[in-house]
Every structure is written in structure tokens, then in C-alpha cells.
Amino acid sequence: MTPDISQAFCWLKQHPAVLNGIQRGIERETLRVTTEGCLATTDHPKSLGAALTHRWITTDFAETLLEFVTPVYDDIDHLLAFMRDIHRDTSRKLGTELMWPLSMPCFISAQQNIQLAKYGSSNSGRFKTLYREGLKNRYGALMQTIAGVHYNFSLPVEFWQAWAGVTDEQSGKKEISAGYFGLIRNYYRFGWIIPYLFGASPAMCSSFPGGRKTTIPFEFTANGLCYLPYATSLRLSDLGYTNSSQCHPGIIFNDLSSYVAGLRQAVRTPSPEYARLGLQHAGHYLQLNTNMLQIENELYLPIRPKRVTMADERPSDALLRGGIEYVEVRSLDINPFSPIGIDAVQVRFLDLFLIWCVLADSPPMSHDELLGTRQNWNRVILEGRRPGQTLAVGCDGRREPLIKIGKALFEDLLQVARVLDTAGSQQYQEVCDHLVTFFDDPTLTFSARILQSMKDDGFAGTGLRLASHYREIFQKEPLEFLTETQLLLEQNSSWKKLHDLECSDTLSFEQYLKIHAGQ
């Protein structure tokens, strides 16, 4: 059911120090909403700084969709304290508006009310807004308001030196990238455990499906709830942000060159469907180009290989230049039971699981196997808590109970936890002891708990109750990690950077598009 990694554990026990210095970062999205539970119609508050150039507070698809970004830390407490300070500061600058605590959006009366994020008059700012215009025209604006949490994770170079025999990151980029691709392949095979444990979108506002056709047999309640009784994460279902390029046969995760080649092919390949949309209408741009992907970041994946880019560098160029630097986990729903959308238990679980994904044997994955893993994910996403639920194991059609596979995986994770806890703490082992109980008692899962609340209070009622409660908490709590001076300096610096950027453009926007969007 799970790979035999006894030899890898023996090695890890002999080298426990190689896990010191794990690097982590968090990106959290949240909608600004009114006290009535409707989408805010105000612009991104100027008091938060310039969204294009602020290091920690920006916007995602919509002007009302906040995104908070932490620096990279090797200390979990510092990481979460920084994120909480961003929330505290933002809450005090929103007036009466609230931060929506759920992944699925609040009540939105009409898609045309969703204002695209605005980034100023610079070419790079206009490019970002036009990219979002393309997303709206391709997939619809409503699904782009679905929010999530991204978890960025990297192992220290000391791990790769001991595990893969590399000297340093640059000379060992091939071996390190191969190790991260092994992680990614195992993530596809076993990552369904994340929505099972932490999926928190089993339901949505009854207004969300609208008139869209779906074969999903939703149930509805009189208090505005649309749900599936055993679902875990509708955000990750076909109702969420998906595109056909996810199934592009060239995008596989066996080595860096083939992955980059497949990604670039999807960006260059013309799409008859998007060509029918056209590039412009009445002098107004509709999308960056008419290819399958406007840019590389349009490819939605549950996990991405990443490297920090240089100025005007494409993500694929950065990967070829330096290899994989970290992975971005994109399968986390907003945790509605945490004021900041994620908690330390989840962070420690992800550490354990991603380390396991590196250590476990991870044979190359064909395109057909990659598509096959989606079937297990879909089962968990739509009915993961169904009694007796089974998942496919291997390629021979054999099935095993989800509970059995999950418990077997946790036996391995507990061994990793003991290594991480060698400094004297029991925190990782406590996470294992806590979460493994979710398999015998699915009512403990995030999805079961939030669904019960929504059945009692309705979708909007639950969201507003939590949002109001967290606002009260943020308003009362003092800053813990950042200072008022640091926040003010970053706010002012972001406006200066934006002004300098807007004054430095030498190309027309049309020339800029030819270079950066292939028009």
C-alpha cells in the first residue's frame, strides 16, 4: 500500500541533524467582505500599501481578494507569529470589513461585481491585471474568488549533501531537483491525505453553482447551504480553478528538462477555444494571448516545483538556471478553525509528509499513472468520509480501505516524527497521535466539523460568525513579531517602489506585451 522505506529510516536515524534548518513560507488568501456577508466593493485599502510592490500584503485575482505572504523562516513559531501580525495590522485598517474565513466565497450577486485586482499604470502592473482579465474570460470570475493556503517547503542543503552526495546547491542542482521530483510524484500518489485531514470546503453558498451544469449530486438546505454529505474539499473539485492543460501529456514530473519542455509547450500551443475569444474587443484587451496557457503560472497544479526568479525571468528559466529550490504545496483549504487560516499542527504534518515523500521510493510516473492518481484524489475530495471508502493501490485495479492506507502511512510518519523530535520536544509525535485518530473517527476531520456548523447556522452564518470572532481577536491582540514602525516603513516603501516603477517604463504597453506575452 505504501513504499517500503525501512532502509531510508535507518539512514535518517543515523543523520538526524540533516533535518535542522527546514525552510518554510506561507501564502494565505482571504476575501474582504461586508458585515452582511457580501463581497466588499471597495478598493484595496491604501493604508495597506501598494499591492504590486508590498512584500507581505498583496492581492490575488480580485481587488477584494487579499493575499498575505510571509518571509521564509526555519522557525515555525516565528513563521506563524509573522502571519498573525499581518492579520492583526490588516484587520485594524479594514474599518467595518471582515476577512472571510472560508475557502469557498461569500454571497456574490453577479460576476460583473467582481473587480479585477489593480496594480497601477506601470507595464508590469497592467500586465498582471490583463492576465487576470484573461482568467476571467477563460474560466469565469466566480471560481477565481475561491481562496486557499500555499505552503512553501525546502530541505536544507545539508540534507542533500548527505542524501544525494552533492557538494553545494549549484553543482548538485540535478541531484537535488531529482529528489524534489521524487517528492512530487509521491505527493500525487498519496497527497489525497491532505484534503482528507484538512479539507474544509464540503459545502458552499447555494448561489455559487448558479446555472452551471454539473453532474455532482448536491444537497441543499433552507438556510442557503449547498453541500455533499461526505465531501472534504469542493475547492479542489472540478468546481474550482482548473484548466485543460493540467492533462497536457507533456507535463510530467520525472526530470527537470522534460517538465520544463512540457510546460513551455503548453504556453506556446495555440488554443482554438481561446482564439475564439480574441485578443481585443472594442479596443479593450481580453487576454494576454490565445495559447493554452497565457503564462506558466496559469497552470494549476496541487504542487509546484519552484525557484525564486530574477527580474523579468520566467519560472521555467529560473528552474533551468538553478534547479528546484523549494516546492509549493497548493492543496490546503483555508483552516476555518484558525484565525490565520493555518495552524502549527498542519505545518508539522506537512513537514512530516513531505520528508516522507522524499525518503520513500518514487519510481518514474507515466502520464497515464499521473491521470490515474486523480481518481483517488477525486474520491477523497467528493466523498472521502464515506464509510468503507476505498482507494486504488497500484496499477492493477486493486483497492484497499482508505482507513487502512492512512494508518499505514502514519506508522511511517511517526518514525520521521521521532527523528524530528530528537532535540527533546514531542511536538511532531503529538501531531501524529492526534491526526491518526481522524481515520477511526472521521467526524474529527475539518470537513465534518465545519459541515455540522454550516448545517446548524447556514453557510453565511458560519462564515460571518467566525469572521466577526477573529476580528475581535485581532483588534485586541498586540503585535508580537513585527512593530508598527516596520509595518509603516514597508507601507511607505511599497508606494515609493510603485512610483519609481511607473516612472521607469521606456516601452509602450503594446511593445511590452510582444516581449512578455508573445503577442
Instruction: Quick: pLDDT tens for 391-450.
Output: 999 777 799 999 999 999 999 999 999 999 997 899 999 999 999 999 999 999 999 999
349 pLDDT exceeds 80?
yes
Per cent of the chain over pLDDT 90 is: 90
Quick one: average pLDDT of 462-484? 98
Q: What is the pLDDT of residue 441?
A: 98
Q: What is the pLDDT of residue 212?
A: 67
245 pLDDT exceeds 90?
no
Instruction: Quick: pLDDT tens for 104-119.
Output: 999 888 666 899 999 9
Q: What is the pLDDT of residue 241?
A: 57
248 pLDDT exceeds 80?
no
210 pLDDT exceeds 90?
no
Q: Between the CA of residue 205 and those of 147, 183, 244, 459, what are the distances in Å?
A: 14, 35, 26, 6
Q: What is the pLDDT of residue 394?
A: 79
Quick one: average pLDDT of 164-182? 97
Query: pLDDT confidence of 380, banded at 50, 70, 90?
Result: very high
Q: What is the pLDDT of residue 176?
A: 98
Q: Is residue 217 packed enough to be buried (19+ CB in 10 Å), middle (13-18) or exposed (0-12)?
A: exposed
Q: What is the pLDDT of residue 242?
A: 58
243 pLDDT exceeds 80?
no
Query: Is pLDDT larger for residue 63 or for residue 250?
Result: 63
Q: What is the pLDDT of residue 456?
A: 95
Q: What is the pLDDT of residue 518?
A: 80
User: How much is the mean pLDDT over the chain?
Assistant: 95
**Which is it for strands 65-69 and 399-401: parallel, antiparallel or unpaired?**
unpaired
209 pLDDT exceeds 90?
no
Per cent of the chain over pLDDT 70 is: 97
Is 232 within 8 Å of 384 (Cβ atoms)? Answer: yes
Nearest to 340 by CA among 46, 6, 85, 32: 85
Show the DSSP H helices in 237-361 as ranges: 256-268, 272-277, 315-322, 344-359
Query: pLDDT confidence of 342, banded at 50, 70, 90?
Result: very high
Of 240-254, 320-334, 376-390, 486-500, least confident by mean pLDDT is 240-254
